[in-house]
């Protein structure tokens, strides 16, 4: 899966892996830290959690613009790494005012780091390189390897050495990420300069084509909001479910390792599956895959809904088996793999070169809105029944899927010009490869 890729892929893989280790070490215990250490009510911690993960993914819009206009991608990433490292270190200070300051450092640091490392990765590949999708899948595995080990480290450190030690481990992970970035930057320095591509694109731009590309981007951004609202319950309400409603002796934060484990396990299988369909001319388009992702998200919370019904029948003090939570994580992970890495590759392909960093930031801004709604909805965890809570998430996910499938034909036509895709009159949601005649414009397949 990793053959014949640019040399810069794996340095960026490990840079992102250690950055995500730091972020998810902190996130694994953030809700518990507010609940058990500062004794915040759920209504307050839910709002803080929502604002935090919302702003963490909204500031990349600013970070992408800074990289596009001023600093370039590598410098912007490095500054972001320093800010996040300082933020995690400040969380180790046991003072509420410093706690808020630390979150601010992390928010702005992530805004500088997150969109630009994804953009830098996309720039390693030629515009129509068919290996770009696989490159983003490999990169996404790096994210989740870091995310898998993070809650294990967080749980061990906070259990044996306290909260501050766990946050210092997150800061150390960020330092390793920064060192890898600076030592290996020669492998991706050339992709930091996109002036040639921007000049070529500006000279050959078709205003109608560019408009269709932007419509496609913002349509995708809108859909993923409801996905992230549901998905990121894993760091908040599902953590409380693991602690309060599950028959287990495990620390609740350990369950946050389940999702990244499934990502690493499922990614090779899913890549093989899409490749097999592609060879048969039946690989779904990116919007179709995203629709499947939303259906899978609805199914995962339907599992939790049934589990909540069973729990409610047990009465006060009842607990259900871990299989409900594990099964829900497995299904939502498949949904995630149909949306997140393919969305990153999609933005890299479709966004105009002169605003690629900003549009990558737009993807994360959509994530930010979903993340805020995750925390906002989570603040009602103690105010409504768990049955109704999970039913609501099933409904919003199905709503997003219905909307996406209802505009699928239009969306496929809108995204086709970005890579000169030929979609026949009967746009069924499948990619179709055609052999071009000599001296005619090449036709490529869009792959998620």
Q: What is the pLDDT of residues 125-170, one digit of tens each?
A: 876 676 777 788 788 888 889 988 998 999 999 999 999 999 999 9
Q: Which domain range does residue 290 map to?
A: 10-190+207-419
The per-residue pLDDT of the chain, averaged, comes to 83
The pLDDT value given to residue 404: 87
Is residue 104, in this structure, part of any structural domain at all?
yes
Instruction: Please write the tens of the pLDDT for every residue from 62-95.
Output: 998 898 888 888 999 999 999 999 999 999 998 9
Least confident of 116-120, 193-197, 323-327, 384-388: 193-197
The pLDDT value given to residue 425: 35
Highest mean pLDDT among 285-299, 364-378, 386-400: 386-400
Distance CA 201, CA 195 (A): 10
CA neighbor of 346 nearest in space, from 220, 235, 433? 220
Is residue 129, in this structure, part of any structural domain at all?
yes
**Inter-CA distances, 247 with 172, 239, 286, 324, 328, Å:** 34, 13, 39, 11, 16
Is residue 437, in this structure, part of any structural domain at all?
no
Distance CA 383, CA 386 (A): 9
Instruction: Kindly report the three-state secondary structure assignment for every residue of the chain.
Output: CCCCCCCCHHHHHHHHHHHHHHHHHHHHHHHHHHHHHCCCCHHHHHHHHHHHHHHHHHCHHHHHHHHHHHHCHHHHHHHHHHHHHHHHHHHCCCCHHHHHHHHHHHHHHHHHHHHHHHHHHHHCCCCCCCCHHHHHHHHHHHHHHHHHHHHHHHHHHHHHCCHHHHHHHHHHHHHHHHHHHHHHHHHCCHHHCCHHHHHHHHHHCCHHHHHHHHHHHHHHHHHHHHHHHHHHHHHCHHHHHHHHCECCCCCHHHHHHHHHHHHHHHHHHHHHHHHHHHHCCCCECHHHHHHHHHHHHHHHHHHHHHHHHHHHHHCCCCCECCHHHHHHHHHHHHHHHCCHHHHHHHHHHHCCHHHHHHHHHHHHHHHHHHHHHHHHHHCCCCCCCHHHHHHHHHHHHHHHHHHHHHCHHHHHHHHHHHHCCCCCCCCCCECCCCCCCCCCCCCCCCCC
User: Is a pLDDT exceeding 50 seen at residue 421?
Assistant: no
**Inter-CA distances, 425 with 13, 285, 291, 409, 417, Å:** 40, 15, 21, 10, 15
Tally of structural domains, the chain: 1
Is residue 309, in this structure, part of any structural domain at all?
yes
Cβ atoms 22, 168 nearer than 8 A: no
Distance CA 12, CA 23 (A): 16
Q: Which residues of 93-117 are buried (b: 16+ CB within 10 A; e: fewer)?
A: eeeeeebebbbebbbbbbbbbbbbb
Position 113 confidence tier, pLDDT thresholds 50, 70, 90: very high
Q: Which residues of 37-60 are buried (b: 16+ CB within 10 A; e: fewer)?
A: eeebebeebbbbbbbbbbbbbbbb
Instruction: Please write the tens of the pLDDT for every residue from 204-256.
Output: 667 777 787 788 888 888 888 999 999 989 878 998 899 999 998 888 888 88
Angle at 412 between CA 406 and CA 418, to 5 degrees: 150
CA neighbor of 447 nearest in space, from 263, 223, 283, 224? 283
Is residue 172, in this structure, part of any structural domain at all?
yes
Is residue 436, in this structure, part of any structural domain at all?
no
The pLDDT value given to residue 318: 86
Is residue 197, in this structure, part of any structural domain at all?
no
406 or 192: which carries more pLDDT confidence? 406
| CATH code of the domain covering residue 301 | 1.20.1250.20
Instruction: Please write the tens of the pLDDT for every residue from 12-53.
Output: 999 999 999 999 999 989 988 999 999 888 888 888 888 898
User: Is a pLDDT exceeding 90 seen at residue 387?
Assistant: yes
Is residue 440, in this structure, part of any structural domain at all?
no
Position 330 confidence tier, pLDDT thresholds 50, 70, 90: very high
Question: CB-based burial of residue 406 (10 Å sphere; 0-12 exposed, 13-18 middle, 19+ buried)?
Answer: exposed
**Predicted TM-score (pTM) above 0.75:** no
User: Is a pLDDT exceeding 80 seen at residue 192?
Assistant: no
């Amino acid at each position: 899966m990793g053959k014949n890729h640019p040399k810069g892929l794996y340095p960026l893989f490990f840079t992102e892996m250690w950055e995500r280790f730091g972020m998810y070490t902190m996130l694994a215990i953030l809700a518990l830290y507010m609940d058990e250490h500062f004794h915040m009510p759920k209504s307050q911690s839910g709002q803080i959690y929502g604002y935090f993960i919302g702003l963490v993914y909204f500031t990349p819009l600013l970070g992408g613009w800074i990289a596009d206009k001023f600093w370039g991608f590598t410098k912007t990433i490095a500054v972001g790494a320093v800010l996040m490292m300082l933020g995690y270190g400040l969380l180790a200070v046991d003072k509420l005012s410093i706690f808020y300051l630390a979150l601010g450092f992390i928010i702005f640091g992530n805004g500088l780091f997150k969109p630009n490392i994804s953009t830098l990765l996309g720039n390693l590949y030629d515009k129509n390189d068919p290996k770009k999708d696989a490159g983003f899948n490999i990169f996404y595995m790096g994210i989740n390897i870091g995310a898998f080990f993070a809650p294990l480290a967080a749980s061990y450190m906070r259990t044996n050495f306290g909260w501050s030690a766990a946050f210092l481990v997150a800061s150390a992970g960020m330092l390793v990420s920064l060192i890898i970035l600076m030592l290996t930057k020669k492998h991706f320095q050339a992709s930091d300069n996109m002036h040639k591509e921007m000049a070529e694109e500006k000279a050959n731009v078709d205003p109608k084509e560019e408009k269709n590309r932007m419509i496609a981007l913002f349509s995708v951004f809108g859909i993923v909001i409801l996905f992230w609202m549901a998905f990121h319950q894993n760091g908040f309400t599902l953590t409380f479910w693991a602690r309060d409603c599950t028959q287990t002796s495990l620390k609740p934060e350990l369950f946050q390792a389940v999702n990244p484990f499934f990502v690493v396990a499922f990614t090779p299988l899913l890549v093989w599956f899409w490749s097999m369909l592609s060879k048969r001319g039946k690989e779904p388009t990116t919007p179709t895959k995203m629709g499947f992702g939303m259906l899978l998200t609805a199914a995962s919370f339907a599992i939790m809904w049934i589990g909540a019904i069973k729990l409610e029948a047990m009465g006060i003090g009842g607990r259900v088996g871990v299989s409900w939570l594990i099964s829900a994580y497995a299904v939502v992970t498949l949904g995630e793999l149909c949306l997140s890495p393919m969305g990153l590759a999609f933005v890299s392909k479709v966004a105009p070169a002169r605003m690629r960093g900003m549009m990558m930031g737009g993807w994360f801004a959509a994530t930010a809105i979903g993340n805020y709604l995750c925390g906002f909805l989570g603040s009602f965890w103690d105010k409504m029944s768990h049955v109704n809570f999970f039913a609501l998430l099933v409904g919003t996910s199905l709503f997003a899927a219905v909307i996406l499938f209802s505009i699928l034909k239009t969306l496929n036509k809108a995204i086709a010009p970005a890579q000169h895709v030929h979609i026949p009159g009967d746009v069924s949601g499948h990619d179709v490869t055609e052999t071009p005649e000599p001296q005619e414009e090449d036709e490529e397949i869009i792959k998620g």
